[in-house]
Amino acid sequence: MSSSGLLPPPLIGVLAVQGDVREHIRVLEGLGTRVEAVRRPRELDGIRGLVIPGGESTTMDKLVRALELFEPLRALIAAGLPVYGSCAGMIMLADRIADCRADQQTLGGLDITVRRNAFGRQVDSFEEDIDMLGLDTPVHAVFIRAPWVEDIGADVEVLARVAGGPAAGRIVAVRQGHLLATSFHPEVTGDTRVHELFVEMVRERS
């Protein structure tokens, strides 16, 4: 405990091998957490939660393995470490990927099937206000070459779906126990409520 008698803010890691790392760090620091950019196994020591950012999931997979982070991360997830994955991070947490490269692996943990680039290429990126379970007002969601969830296991809770357009009803946010994932990028909108939810998950687990 600190001298004031209060618990210190939790230390949350952000996987920093590729993707929009700085944006997540900025939001988490703004919420009063301590943040560790994780590029090496030793930087996992002491973290109480982990964010896997958006980026390119095949590149992220290769780098995680090359940097010898793959097995330590899988072990931490299996042990109950709270993890939030956005966009490519959702793919990294999924147990199954539809139409992926034969050599692509995931960290797993979420009993879901995701489809990479489900909404289309970079030029098909879009924004939409969506309702998210547990939040009073819609989230302004930014989708950039985003996946969607095609199938969920019995223990997975659906938090949000696309409201309109040809993808109406597609699942874009889920939670399974200590794991949280979104297809969209809340770190770029100024709306911190998804990160607040994750920080609360970390505090509860700690």
Q: Check 23, 87, 178, 195 and give the catalytic one.
A: 87
The active-site residue out of 24, 178, 185, 195 is: 185
For residue 94, which of 76, 116, 71, 67 has the smallest C-alpha distance? 116
Give CA–CA dist 131/112, Å, rounded.
20
Give pLDDT tens digits for 85-118.
999 999 999 999 997 777 889 999 999 999 987 7
Tens of pLDDT, residues 13-31? 999 999 999 999 999 999 9
Tokens of 119: 């909404």
User: Residue 175 phi/psi, 5° resolution?
Assistant: -140, 140
Mean predicted confidence (pLDDT) in 131-145: 92
Q: Exposure pattern of 106-140 as b/e (b: 16+ CB <10 Å)?
A: bbbbbbbbbbbebbeeeeeeeebebebeebeeebe
Helix axes 70-78, 57-66, angle to 10 degrees: 100
Is 185 noted as a catalytic residue in this protein? yes
Burial of 189 (0-12, 13-18, 19+ CB in 10 A): middle
Q: What is the amino acid identity at position 204? A: E
What is the rounded distance in angstroms from the CA atom of residue 31 to the CA atom of residue 106? 29
DSSP letters of 12-36?
EEEE-SSSSHHHHHHHHHHTT-EEE
Among this protein's residues, is 187 annotated catalytic?
yes
The answer to whether 87 is a known catalytic residue is yes
Residue 189, CB half-sphere, CA atoms under 13 Å: how many?
Answer: 19
Per-residue pLDDT at 3: 40
Quick one: CATH architecture of 11-205? Answer: 3-Layer(aba) Sandwich (3.40)
Residue 77: pLDDT band with limits 50, 70, 90: very high
pLDDT at 123 over 50: no
- Structural domain boundaries in the chain: 11-205
The pLDDT mean for the chain works out to 91
pLDDT tens digits, one per residue of 48-58: 999 999 999 99
177 exposure class (CB count in 10 Å sphere: 0-12, 13-18, 19+): middle
Q: Is the pTM of this model over 0.85?
A: yes
DSSP-assigned letter for residue 132? B
Q: Which of 135, 156, 147 is nearest to 183 (CA)?
A: 147
Catalytic residue among 24, 100, 178, 187: 187
